[in-house]
Structure 1
Amino acid sequence: MGTGETLQKFKKYHLDKIIPLCFIFFILMSLELIAACFYSPADELDRILRVLRQDEIIFWELKPSLDTVFQGVKVKTDAGGFRVLDNRRFDRPQDCFTIVCLGGSPTFGWGLDYKYTYTCLLESMLNDDFKGKRYRVINGGIIGYSSYQGRLLFENRILDEFSPDIITVSYLVNDVDKHRFYRNNEKPDKDLKPKSTLLVFLENFLEESSLFLFLRQKILRLKGLDRRFYSEVSQFYPENRRVSPQDYRNQLDLIVDLARARGIEVVFIKMLVRFPFEAEPLAEDVLKRSNENLAIAVKLIKAGKCNQAVLKLKEAVADNPYSAKAYYYLGFCSAMNSDEESAKIYFDKAKKMELLECAIIANVYNQEMEELALERNIELVDIKEKFLAYPDLKTLFVNSDYDLVHPNEKGHRIIANNIYGVLAGKNIVGKN
């Protein structure tokens, strides 16, 4: 066999392999373009996930180098995935005094232009009033972060990336919550193990594909899964809060230990969860009767008897109209019976009552922060007290009708002023 004939066979063999691969690639790219035209986020969770990506240790993080519109405002992140005024990321100059503000979406600036966030305002105030050195305030607020995630972020990234002089710590709302954006398996945050790096990489890659997102959306609907209660609805009501009050205190304590080992000053920011409405007190015997009916209903649901369970659930909410658990199961049973309209109503009520429960239990977490601040000699900025003293509390939030945790421009100004007052008044900044 001659050299020319061998070369021809070699080319034919590889062409036979390459052409089908090219055809498959062309088909996939065409489907991707078509899916991009038809896919749109179905709900709030989908919209949130578009600005996040998974992390094997801290569960998720903001996508780096974002330049998008989120919650109606322009959002930009630097190469490290932290929100900034623009996309540049500066190395720390020798004379730069660095403050990192740790927190969740209230610190991030949910629904707010960055220039109005308390991190941006605080940086401007410090640089205007103290001319001896440059001040840099890093927004370490990540959407959905609990104190557990905040401790991991501080330990694994903030300490070495920014070498801060001061940190402020303002976790609350996600600690009292029961739901996560990823890995929402009803376990407390501390019980989640690190995820495979390869698996996280593959899932993040797929979640950038419109085709994958479109197909996942359709499959979830075909399976009858419903994400109107924060995430895919499971049969049973989630009981565990992401971080218990005791573990909340432990996480804050660990952050203090890590900071003081590096000579970093710590300031606690005590936030609040606004009550969605005023609840009337219920008599003990009425609550007992409601809980008994609810327990019977749950047993019936476990036995697959949703129709019988609904009767008991309605008796339960007649006695206790604030039971998130009862409304959740009414929503679940309605969804199982293909009554979409009723399911939506009940799930919305369940969420509203969950917010009431969060507002009530948030006081316990506030108390844990106060006690730890006293025990460890930590400066505490009491934003909750300042907000509650304001003549019209609801006007301090992004949406005065239903937002209970995200301060608006006016609210962020109050936060910035009070942090500044503590830092300047205690001579924590301005030192030569």
Structure 2
Amino acid sequence: MKKAENKTLLFKMIAIGAVIVFFLLIELVLRIFVPVNHQNERLVDLGELTFFSKVTVQGVPSIRITSKYGYSDQQTTFKTKKSPGTYRIFCLGGSAAAGWPHPANERFSTYLDTCLKNIYPDKRIEIINCSAHGFASYRVREVFHQLIPYQPDAVIVWSGNNEFLEDQRFKTSKVHAVVDALAKKIRIVQLIKKALPKQKLDGNQIEVASSFWKKTQQQSLELCSDPDLALKVRQVYEQSINEITTEAAQNKIKVLLFTVPVNLRDWQPNVSYCSLKGQDSVKWSKIYNLGRAALRDSNYLAANKYFKEAISKEPLHAMTYFNLAKSAELLNDTIAALQNYILAKDLDYNPFRAITDFNEIVRKIAASHTNATLFDAEKLFQKFGNRGIPGFDLFLDYVHPTREGNLILASELGEYIRKSNLFGIGASEIRIDNQYLHKMVSGYSDENDIQLQVTRFSLCCLTHQYESAIRFGSEILGSLPADYQANPQNKNDILKLREGVKVFSRFLDIDSRSLEGIVDNGEMQVAKKEIRLFYETYYPYGTF
């Protein structure tokens, strides 16, 4: 009986061993003869995206942007087959590249079209803006892939502000997480993983509800707080921009890659992270608030000292860097100010602005592809920004340029294309600078566009830019035309402006006095409740 049991056990062990040896041999064969190819594995896959539709315009087969994110109300339409001798340039990116929230005739691509047609009056040039609201680089990549049949000679890519917007895209089950971990080490698992159906994002619906709600609640995004996810965001961006550039080269399309300019001086980080606990947190808060009080009282040297001390104790708190930058700028140390404004932007745990890593990725890709050229819009806006630091002088909000910002961008890019004959259009002696471009475009004014100003106010509210919301809200309320006030459709916006200015002003006043310890907790709680009610009334889903 015992011998039989031993034989059975031995048989089982041999069988298990044979299976293990079998799989080890397969693993060995795969490692020797089947090369690893991670390049073809997309970190983010999209489902079907319906961006363009076929239409007929006066008997001519044409293409029209019909995606709701692609500003379909503008009826952007172009011929399916470009006319002979036409040089066709597509612009790709998010809302900043689209020129939002300006009218279609007042965006950078329209101004660039004016520039190039005057620089090359004997050439046929088409500039078609296919940018889309809220599109991250992996969605821009898909738009580019779809427009290749429409014979682009060149594409301009200005993308990077929306990479943290869809914060659910890396959510996976525990099973997927285990498979992903094993696939990094075991080739058999890699094959199994490839055979499994991949999770895909909805191509026609951007999942932003959670992200926008977290902005109004000032909550951290996991894409920032989790180091592994933060790394994935960077990898996805690099993969997407690299794929666009590589596919463009395969189709003999020239690529102009923009670095991404953002508002540094006048846009505070939305969420600042503090890792300290207990008494360490109390001590840090005391130092930080001493810096805030000194900054408020124009004691910039003391403020600078306190903020540096606070950073030495907590080096990840974004708002400390922002305040340090303010004090440095007011001490005329613009180099330190710029450096710390950039750090404040990069450490935001719920960002709406492209981080420095993205711009470095763009520079690297442009340098490594012969069909790609870098246009350093980040450095350009620093050059034209007040004291080398762009703020509301060039931006309406966090990333969307003012009319002046778009004019500068278009005129400088037009001149860059002319001087370098970048797209091979030809030589020209006609130079269109920013001053001359001003004379060639309409008399449109940001200040007189009430709807644009109300949108600007809402963006300030959405990301808790209280001081800016008060400033812009007060300016709007002080200059509202009588017909605007009389229109019942504008009633809600007017109430929102008045209530926002009131509750934010009260909160900032109490917050300032709290630095001196002359505010009781009840008063602060009332102010916070008023702000919470304001958001629940006017931004119930974190949207605008």
Please report the TM-score for the alignment, with normalisation by the length of structure 2.
0.43
Take 2:214 and 2:283, find their aligned partners in 1: how far apart are those partners? Answer: 20
Post-superposition shift, 1:250? 2.5
Post-superposition shift, 1:409? 0.8
Asked if 1:154 is matched to 2:140, the reply is no
Take 1:93 and 1:361, find their aligned partners in 2: how far apart are those partners? Answer: 37
The answer to whether the Cα contact below 8 Å between 1:168 and 1:269 also exists between their aligned partners in 2 is yes
Aligned counterpart, 2:401: 407
- 1:337-356 to structure 2, matched below 5 A, reads 355=348
- 1:227-306 to structure 2, matched below 5 A, reads 228-230=213-215, 237-238=222-223, 239=226, 240-241=229-230, 244-275=233-264, 276=266, 290-291=274-275, 293=277
Counterpart pick for 1:172 among 152, 156, 160: 160
- 1:392-403 to structure 2, matched below 5 A, reads 392=386, 393-399=390-396, 403=397
Take 1:265 and 1:132, find their aligned partners in 2: how far apart are those partners? Answer: 21
Take 1:112 and 1:247, find their aligned partners in 2: how far apart are those partners? Answer: 30
Consecutive unaligned residues of structure 2, counting only runs of 5 or more, are 1-44, 55-63, 173-179, 181-197, 286-312, 320-343, 428-544
Counterpart pick for 1:163 among 112, 127, 151: 151
SS at the partner of 1:120? helix
Take 1:171 and 1:364, find their aligned partners in 2: how far apart are those partners? Answer: 13
Post-superposition shift, 1:252? 1.7
SS at the partner of 1:112? coil
Aligned counterpart, 2:453: none
Change (3 A) 1:115 1:382: same
SS at the partner of 1:142? coil
Post-superposition shift, 1:138? 1.1
The answer to whether the Cα contact below 8 Å between 2:107 and 2:406 also exists between their aligned partners in 1 is yes
Take 1:59 and 1:358, find their aligned partners in 2: how far apart are those partners? Answer: 28
Residue identity opposite 1:385 in structure 2: K
Aligned length: 283
What RMSD over aligned residues (CA atoms) do the two structures have, in Å? 4.5
SS at the partner of 1:131? coil
Residue identity opposite 1:426 in structure 2: S
Take 2:93 and 2:345, find their aligned partners in 1: how far apart are those partners? Answer: 23
Take 2:245 and 2:50, find their aligned partners in 1: how far apart are those partners? Answer: 22
Post-superposition shift, 1:227? 5.6
Asked if 1:132 is matched to 2:125, the reply is no
Take 2:237 and 2:261, find their aligned partners in 1: how far apart are those partners? Answer: 15
Aligned counterpart, 1:15: none
Aligned counterpart, 1:51: none
Post-superposition shift, 1:113? 1.5
The answer to whether the Cα contact below 8 Å between 2:255 and 2:373 also exists between their aligned partners in 1 is yes
SS at the partner of 1:389? helix
Consecutive unaligned residues of structure 1, counting only runs of 5 or more, are 1-55, 66-76, 205-219, 294-310, 326-350
- 1:2-81 to structure 2, matched below 5 A, reads 57=46, 78-79=65-66
Take 1:84 and 1:58, find their aligned partners in 2: how far apart are those partners? Answer: 20
The answer to whether the Cα contact below 8 Å between 1:146 and 1:243 also exists between their aligned partners in 2 is no
Post-superposition shift, 1:367? 1.4
Asked if 1:420 is matched to 2:414, the reply is yes
Take 1:411 and 1:243, find their aligned partners in 2: how far apart are those partners? Answer: 32
Post-superposition shift, 1:418? 2.4
Structure number with greater Rg is 2
SS at the partner of 1:260? helix
Residue identity opposite 2:392 in structure 1: T
Change (3 A) 1:236 1:130: closer
The answer to whether the Cα contact below 8 Å between 1:170 and 1:269 also exists between their aligned partners in 2 is yes
